């Protein structure tokens, strides 16, 4: 049997999960888990993969897109290799979290929710990272940096391969 259109865009474990969902009583209840599998694997949900899921699950593309848009943990753009989360909660903000964010934006030429052009960094803001005693706080991947000052930012980024383009 020739593969259904869209199968080529999805890995075998996702195809298997879709197949299982189709055999279940409520296939649509598996949709979030299936989208999470795709995002874990590729870091984001591409238009092509959303189309493929819709086609294979035999549901409208708009419905799959609608579910994905509803949950903030899904993203439709590729994220940079290293995820930078800047705390903008009250404790961090009053101690200069906003200035740390400004410095990151300046160095990486991005706004929160964007990846740097070289694909190395993804920048986002958070409300409270649960480490207020260390304010201001940023997290890069799993590593927590406390008492961060704007002047520290460039040095921290170099640990992850950042190189200033022009000095
Ligand atoms: S406000 Fe930043 S860690 Fe709590």
143-145, strands of its sheet edge to edge: 114-115, 121-126, 82-87, 138-140, 143-145
Per-residue pLDDT tens over the stretch 105-156: 999 999 998 889 888 999 999 999 999 999 999 999 999 999 999 999 999 9
Beta bridge partners of 122: 83, 115
Share of the chain above pLDDT 90, in %: 71
Burial of 52 (0-12, 13-18, 19+ CB in 10 A): buried
CA angle 127, 131, 133 (to 5 degrees): 115
Q: How many CA atoms lie within 13 A of 164 on its CB side?
A: 10
Contact between residue 109 and residue 72 where contact means Cβ atoms under 8 Å apart: no
Give the atom of ligand 1 at the shortest distance from the alpha carbon of 92: 2
**CB of residue 128 inside a 6 A radius of ligand 1:** yes
What does DSSP say about strands 138-140 and 82-87: parallel, antiparallel, or unpaired? antiparallel
For the entire predicted model, the pTM comes to 0.65
pLDDT of residue 6: 52
| Ligand 1 atom 1: residue of nearest CA | 89
Please report which helix (H) or strand (E) contains residue 121, including its range: strand 121-126
- Cis preceding-peptide flag for 136 (omega within 30 of 0): yes
Give the atom of ligand 1 at the shortest distance from the alpha carbon of 131: 3
> Which mutation among 85, 126, 137, 146 tests ligand 1's pocket best, with the greatest number of atoms within 8 A of CB?
137
> Which mutation among 100, 101, 129, 138 tests ligand 1's pocket best, with the greatest number of atoms within 8 A of CB?
129
Would the pLDDT of 19 be above 60?
yes
- Report how far ligand 1's centroid is from the alpha carbon of 61 (Å): 38
């Amino acid at each position: 049997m020739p593969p259904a259109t869209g199968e080529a865009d999805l890995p075998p474990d996702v195809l298997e999960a879709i197949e299982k969902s189709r055999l279940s009583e409520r296939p649509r209840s598996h949709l979030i888990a299936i989208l999470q599998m795709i995002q874990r694997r590729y870091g984001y949900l591409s238009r092509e993969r959303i189309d493929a899921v819709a086609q294979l699950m035999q549901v409208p593309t708009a419905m799959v897109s609608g579910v994905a848009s509803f949950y903030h943990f899904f993203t439709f753009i590729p994220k940079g290799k290293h995820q930078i989360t800047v705390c903008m909660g009250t404790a961090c903000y009053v101690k200069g979290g906003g200035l740390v964010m400004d410095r990151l934006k300046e160095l990486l030429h991005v706004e929160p929710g964007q990846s740097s052009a070289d694909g190395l960094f993804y920048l986002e803001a958070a409300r409270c990272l649960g480490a207020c005693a260390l304010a201001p706080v940023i997290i890069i991947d799993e590593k927590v940096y406390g008492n961060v000052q704007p002047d520290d930012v460039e040095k921290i980024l170099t640990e992850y391969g950042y190189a200033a383009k022009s000095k």
